[in-house]
Chain A
Amino acid sequence: MVNCNQDKSGSTSRSAKQPAANAVVQIQGLSKTYMVNEQEAGAKATIRGIFHRKKTEVPAVDDISFSMAPGEIVGFLGPNGAGKTTTLKMLSGLLYPTWGSATVLGHIPWKREKAFLRQITLVMGQRNQLVWDIAPIHSFELNRVIYRIPLDDYQRILKELTDLLELGPLLTKPVRNLSLGERMKCEVAAALLHRPQVVFLDEPTIGLDVTMQRRIRAFIAEYNKRFGATVLMTSHYMADVAALCRRVVVIHHGHLLFDGELSILLQKFTSHKTISIQLGECQVDLNKYGEVLSCEEGRYVLRVPKAETARITERLLADLPVVDLLVEDPPIEEVIDRAFTEWNP
């Protein structure tokens, strides 16, 4: 299921892809344009700006369509300013779209019906919902009554979340005394106490160390598995995406560029592979086989065109006293970066 399409009319592959009948999230031609006051430099322009403000339209999301099946985890990728957060905010009901339609669990998000709000959550990695001055348990209790979670259920869910995220000692410490990672774990728990069926995650691991990233990631996977929740997440850490999302949706400058399996995206934009070979020393000139990226203690790393990999590997093995050989795909970040650079709508 590949949908590479930059056609605004949506007449090509987009129309070919029919939304699933049981889709949890369904978006059709969703667009959002912000009106932004332009600020020019200089005193004259400032004075002029008092009387006459120049407004410009900034399209943040432009005609995107996709749907999500129940229980799916989809990675929502794109460089900064691509329109990811705007889309998540529209889907969670915080923003009205300029154009287009969306339903989440059958509700129109921006109507913000109570029945809708009780079934979704949005975690924003750079924002806090926990009350800053007091312990997270107070915010949890507040969410319990806001979402009307029966006490027995709440206690059970809290225990599960405490175990999964190792929250134990954190629950009673004031939020301001928690580390970034500890706070994030509590934020995630607070957002999931009401056991939402649809989870929007906006950079849930931002600024966290590798261990904490891994823990949050494992938790998301477990939550998805255990409760069958549908998850749409953005992350700049490709490890998050690779670990959790089989399917990715890529947007750039507000346009949907790709919707399909991560492996297909990688395949499409992987033009090179790296070959590592172990020789005795670093004295040999291997430039005729490919671009030499590095050599340390006889271990060469070569970059070769993907199509040539088999032939070059064969030649290396035939020509040189190779002790060990390893063919690898380039790091996922590199491929995604290349995809963003090459796609320029």
Chain B
Amino acid sequence: MKGLLQLYVQQFKTTFATMFQYRASLVIWMIGQVLEPLVYLIVWSTVSNGNGGSIESYTTGAFVSYFIILMLVNQFTYTWVMFDYEYRIREGYLSFALLKPVHPIHSDIADNIMSKSITLPVLTVIAIILGLAFHARLSVTPWLAVLFVPGLLLAFALRFLLEWTLAQSAFWTTRVSAINQIYFFLLLFLSGQIAPLSILPRAVQVAAKILPFYWTIGFPTELLLGKITVTGALLGIGVQVVWLTIAVFLVRFVWRLGVKAYSAVGQ
């Protein structure tokens, strides 16, 4: 455990050093992270205003809050491993990772935590400015605020493991970008990134709640927004735990198969 902790600390330093080698691209990347929810925020606020100030249970102010919180939640749970994996395999980095007596997932976890501890404070400031500029409304109860913490952490763990599992498709195919596109399309639609799930058709809501996508972004966002009851929040956390258990199993299972496939072919 101590060894793993030291590894995390060292990986934090490495990520920190790497990120500051490319300061400009870091800024550009953060702008991109802000722009997408900002576009949805403006679109839905306009539609809401045109609809007499609300759509279903969402007032214009609630839309603004939803997309600002979503921006932060998405940033918190976002991973880039699906874009990296194919490159790692093609360039032989995975071989070096396999030669080391530590599972490569640890580097990714540490890398993720460090990157976010740099980008999140900046995005939080941007979120506050946007909230003030667009008159966001937030009415959260203390219980929901407390439950938001495990909800968010579980959302990150779940999304991280699912994306790590999917990223491993690179073990079998060199065309991972097609898989990534399908995944990100589903995520965009079913996680609540494009619109709050509760204003989408009932069938979509059911599908989204059966699948894991909603639990990685939409759920913690609606939780903090006060759109879920305390019971609903507890149930949601229960669903997250179930999905997380499945994801842990999946990531291990696919890893074992993937390494076997990789070891059969080599790179």
Contacts and interface: CB of A to CB of B under 8 A. Distances in A.
Interface in A99-144: 110, 112, 114, 117-118, 120-122, 124, 127-129, 131, 133-135, 138-139, 141-144
Contacts of B266: 34, 86, 89, 94-95
Interface residues of B, number: 27
A122 B17 CA distance: 26
Contacts of A120: 99
A124 B93 CA distance: 11
A174 interface: yes
A148 B13 contact: no
B22 interface: yes
Given A134-B14, A138-B14, A174 B21 contact: yes
Contact of A94 (B11, B21, B93, B99): B99
Interface in A260-291: none
B11 A142 contact: yes
B21 A127 contact: no
B17 A134 contact: yes
Nearest to A120: B99
A121 B11 CA distance: 21
Nearest to A86: B266
Contacts of A146: 7, 100-102
B21 A141 contact: no
B91 interface: yes
Contacts of A110: 263
Contacts of A34: 265-266
Given A93-B98, A95-B264, 13 more contacts: A94-B95, A127-B92, A131-B18, A134-B14, A134-B17, A134-B21, A145-B6, A145-B7, A145-B9, A145-B10, A146-B7, A146-B101, A148-B3
Pairs of residues from A and B, 8 with the lowest C-beta to C-beta distance, nearest first: A129-B96, A114-B101, A127-B92, A117-B101, A145-B6, A96-B263, A134-B17, A145-B10
5 contacts: A34-B265, A94-B95, A95-B264, A145-B6, A146-B102
